[in-house]
Structure 1
Amino acid sequence: MATRWLDEEQQRAWRAWLSVSELVPRVLDAQLQRDAGLTHAAYVVLAMLSEAPGRARRMSDLARRANQSQSRLSHTVGRLEERGWVRRERAADDGRGNLAVLTDAGWDVVQQVAPGHVEAVRSAVFDPLSADRTRALREALEQVLEGLDPDHSLRVEHGADTAEER
């Protein structure tokens, strides 16, 4: 079978994607480090907890939503526990699972950091784009995502009103 090389337009798009996928997290990490001494990965954990009923999620669900392995999430939650922003509890419904719970202090951090974070997201991603290009970007990314995960087993559907987008 012959190799299907990328054409010039595909090559340019791919290289732009590689650069964006490396630079956006770097920009967001820098903003969060500056404003709260947080990594983007830690902020996502706090944000996912802030959106949950009772500000608590099973660790397995949180790992999936935060796009982290169980091991990495455990370390992230441990660091957030040390700061008093998260605590772990046994799940009351079955006693087997563990929950991560956003504390009041963690909730305060999310409320303080979210405005600067959303401004960094806007500045890095959306300010350079018109409404039409934003829609086209969303549609293109959703199409790629559908090809990567057609049965929706690898992703969590995020609502339109999340802390990440506030």
Structure 2
Amino acid sequence: MSEAPGNRLRMGELGSKMVFSSSRVTYQVKSMERRGLVLRQPGEDDKRVNYAVLTATGLETLREAGPSHVGQIQAIFTDDLDEHELRVLTEVFGRLRNRLLDSAEQETADG
């Protein structure tokens, strides 16, 4: 959401980006909403559409967590890998990501 215009995304788009089912996105957004990190807003033109909107508190929380989070991910997954291993890992996770996105798109098309 932080990269989207107005820090807001349609719930369905957020689910696709996260490779989450619609029920999982709803659960996560409700949890974040209770903590004041996001708001849910109905669409202005289509009331069937809901948006998740990152609040100022949510954006600040994201900014504060970013450097530590990246450092933890690197320490756990990549710090002791050489360049060849990193290229292989990037290729494998790229293919997995594409497969998950294709699956999510198929789910959306199937209704």
TM-score category, normalised to shorter length: 0.7 to 0.9
Structure 1 stretches lacking a partner, 5+ long: 1-48, 157-166
Equivalent position of 1:20 in the other structure: none
State the 1:80 CA deviation: 0.9
2:42 is aligned with 1:90: yes
Equivalent position of 1:114 in the other structure: 66
Question: Identity of paired residues, percent?
Answer: 32
State the 1:135 CA deviation: 1.2
Per-residue CA deviations over 1:43-102 (Å, capped at 9, x if unaligned) read xxxxxx112121101111111212222112212111111111100111234333000000
**Structure with the higher helix share, 1 or 2:** 2
Alignment of 1:15-164 (within 5 A): 49-143=1-95, 148=99, 153-154=102-103
Q: Which letter maps to 1:81?
A: E
Partner SS state of residue 81, structure 2: coil
> For residues 102 and 75 of structure 2, what CA distance do their matches in structure 1 show?
31
Aligned length: 105
Residues 155, 132 of structure 1: alpha-carbon distance in 2 compared, 3 angstrom cutoff: farther
What is the TM-score of this pair, normalised by structure 1?
A: 0.56
What is the TM-score of this pair, normalised by structure 2?
A: 0.80
Residues 67, 95 of structure 1: alpha-carbon distance in 2 compared, 3 angstrom cutoff: same
> For residues 36 and 11 of structure 2, what CA distance do their matches in structure 1 show?
17
> For residues 75 and 14 of structure 2, what CA distance do their matches in structure 1 show?
27
State the 1:132 CA deviation: 2.5
Q: Which letter maps to 2:72?
A: A
